Every structure is written in structure tokens, then in C-alpha cells.
Amino acid sequence: MLGFAADGPTLSLDWERFSYAGKFQMSSTGKAVLADDGVLAAAAFSADREQPERAWIRYLTVRKDHQGGGLGARLARQVTRTLLERGYTQVSIAVNNPIAYRALYKAGFHFTGRETGIAELVLSYPGPRDPATYRAGLTRFAKRELPEPHVSLVEKWLQAGTPPAPVDDIPLPGAGKGAGNGAR
């Protein structure tokens, strides 16, 4: 954890290696990273302006050469754990692509049935993770114009029908046991 919004943390990310790199230079959101010999994934988060019991993960990015390894889900889970420990009762995030959607399901989130922004699906933790709701979100993506690799993945995930199992290496309060976190 680099700090909460009140701490004014900023983070410089290489725009060629991270999506949304410029958003992390703002000091109005909290920041957290997963790091090894450098930043592998980063998240920016803040309190909801209208519902003080809810926090939002505003941006979540994984270094391009590490995408697909579960780092986004792990970091989202760690940030969620920290926010819940600070007293928030709900954590939400809006996603604009099916890969992020699935990663957030692995982090324990569920589709709320709502959209925000430019066709972003709103996911929240905690909440019900039933297969029908999961498929409803994937179906929304299936109706969009997507790059071919995303089309194939959405079709495959819809055929499977069930949400992916949550990552279990970073336990959330009341959600079983697991190993360390790797976040800071």
C-alpha cells in the first residue's frame, strides 16, 4: 500500500508498459502496487462521493509483459481486503473489457447488473456470485464489437457457464486461509 487519498500518493508508470499510466500521477486517489524488481501491477482507489460506506477501485493495471498471470485479481483482492479492514462495507469497480471482468470475478467480485461511464460494467464485493449473473455480464460483452481474441474468450467462458473460482492466495476477512500477499 503506497497510501490513501489523504496521503496524496503519486506513482509514475511507463505508459508503454501500463494502461492508464497517467491516472496514477494524480494525488487524489490512494495507490497500491504488486512489485518484485519493479512494479508489476498498480491500483488507484478512493471513497465513493455519495455513499461513504463504499469505496471504488478507480484504475487497475498490470504491466503488459505480466498480463494473464492473475496479478490483477490478486491486487484487487488485496486492495479490497485493506479497504474492508478500514471500515468500508462495499468495494466496487467498473470494467470495460471481458478479460478485466473475469479477473475481477477471480478477485471475488460479482456483476451488479449496472453499467456506468462508457459501457463499463459495475462489479462489487461482497455479493452473490451466481452463474446467471456472471453470464449476464459476459452476454453484454458478447453483444459488443470486440477484438477477435476477446470474442473467442467470451464464447468459451459463456459455454463453460460458471464463474471462475476466486483466487485464494490472499484471503479476505472471513474467506478462508491463504498465503502471503506480495502487495505493498
Q: What does each of the 184 residues of the chain score in pLDDT, given as a tens digit?
A: 999 999 999 999 999 999 989 999 999 999 999 998 899 999 999 999 999 999 999 999 999 999 988 899 999 999 999 999 999 999 999 999 999 999 999 999 999 999 997 789 999 999 888 899 999 999 999 999 998 889 999 999 999 989 998 887 544 444 333 333 344 4
Let me know if residue 180 belongs to a domain: no
Q: Indicate the pairing of strand 120-125 with strand 110-116.
A: antiparallel
The whole-number pLDDT of residue 152 equals 93
Give the domain extent around 110: 5-160
Which grid coordinates are listed for 13? Answer: 508508470
**Cβ-proximal residues to 86 (8 Å cutoff; 6+ apart), any chain:** 4
Let me know if residue 88 belongs to a domain: yes
Q: What is the CATH number of the domain that holds 90?
A: 3.40.630.30
Phi, psi for 117 (deg, rounded to 5) = 55, -140
> CA–CA separation, 136 vs 142, rounded Å?
10
Let me know if residue 95 belongs to a domain: yes
Let me know if residue 38 belongs to a domain: yes
- Residue 172 burial (CB count, 10 A): 20
Let me know if residue 126 belongs to a domain: yes
Q: 147 preceded by cis ω (within 30°)?
A: no
Let me know if residue 172 belongs to a domain: no
